[in-house]
Structure 1
């Protein structure tokens, strides 16, 4: 079994030195990505699905602590890299459950021992019986029998969520007024029609993310958003994290 590794280090000479110092085949490791700052790392991690991340603590744009806060918990085996002057700063990473932190310059034998610990941590994370299918389940199942008007409305949304849907469309489907339709949503779902439609589309996008078959802009279009930036804003507001964080969460074990 090969453990996939991503190295996040802003100094190219140190990053390349780390790569050269690791006997990748002997250690059963595979380098799948590199990044020079946390922001770049988010994209790299989301696209490469690493098991282990070697993470520099002090970087421009987004540092190591900020990246740790953005990453889903209990998903990656993380080793912190820091200079002597950053030791206290690096200790903040302990609360994020990192495997170890290495002080630069990094000794080859110490790195090898730490990588063994990182592989063990990765195995434990993969064996965790955590409910991954439920973490981002934002829309509960609705009992459609409570109201014929609501049932017809929900059915129309399920069949047409990829296109533009308005309350006026539901008036034609249900033969009820917009006020009457919205009151059903408020009464039985405790939300408006527009709020439900948004939640439904975002839940569909999460279901598509789990499949690992589509690019994010494709998913946005598939759930009714032609503007990816707007989709990203709505998704982040509803879920609490951007789509790429959810993608990283469900990439574990892929």
Structure 2
């Protein structure tokens, strides 16, 4: 926590700081001011998590200062050397968390800090939830209609890591993600920042936090994660100063993520490293398409891509840049140890790979599930879990075989169902329609419907109700 110590006596400030440090070593940051005016100026610069505030200070008393900022709901512990209950009453009326007589004992400070810590944790959980929900909303609006709203909680500067999973065990995957989430949470806590950990509509696992964190901080996390889980996950680190830049960076990673099949598989790849290995992209893109065609049981596509990679030039430069990632991914995909040193060896190895997918067409299976569950809160991760394939691969396979993004198909199905409900008079309001096709936000549903059809849902419903001579209800 950031703790502000406001007292005109330096020894009192030092004593409090010493006791808090003794109780919670290296856990808190301290800011010190010696009067009420400096306190108010400090609050204009930054808001602390807890204030220890002396009631009697020169120039502007603690109570006078508190009366000017109490609406900000900052937890405040009042301090005084005067055992007068009237001071306590006035402080508590303003919303003080606690009231201590100076000099406070270690036990008294401990009890106060426990109370403050409990309140801090409750507040942080609520703020983290607000952060997560706001990012989901920002993400949905940007994905569906390219709209960027002004954030209230998800504020810059941003650090994000997009994770691509190439190997996992279905039985332990959810638990493994919880472990990764906990590891990333510890990094955010160390930097004093909120974060969210979620799936993007395109299948990537996204960690986002509102502070600057260098790529090196995440290397140890992935090493530890791979040692304790059955996953092989590669992280792409990005940074941005605003939401527009953030989504531009996401799109850049999505164009370049195949690099992991050739370099730094299971590690963290920085923006600088993506640029360094960019000449590998034509080769890594072809390789990824081949692996996806194999997973999707696309025999003709696999053969065409195999021919294309056999014609690949600059063989020497490619294999000089590749590390052991190429052989690792091939070994994982085939179940056979790979030791590839040339294009010819690669082609021969790929020819021997056989698809292990079920005979039923993967896309038909996905589309059938959407038709049955469009009204539920489903996403690419839901489908991926059902058919035992990584979300990022599934997203790519779907686009490759249909020419359409998974999220766009899901939106199209929902819009079609919404029109059927409204034109048939099966829903009483726009809100009812939105909820019945999988949207909990009427405003968001309205924006998506307008973008998809060129008309608002209320206008669409009104036109059909008037045609039938029924009164409209919105």
TM-score band, normalised by the shorter chain? 0.3 to 0.5
Rg larger in structure: 2
Q: What TM-score results when the alignment is normalised by the length of structure 2?
A: 0.26
Report 1 or 2 for greater relative contact order, CA contacts < 8 Å, sequence distance ≥ 6.
1
Q: What TM-score results when the alignment is normalised by the length of structure 1?
A: 0.47
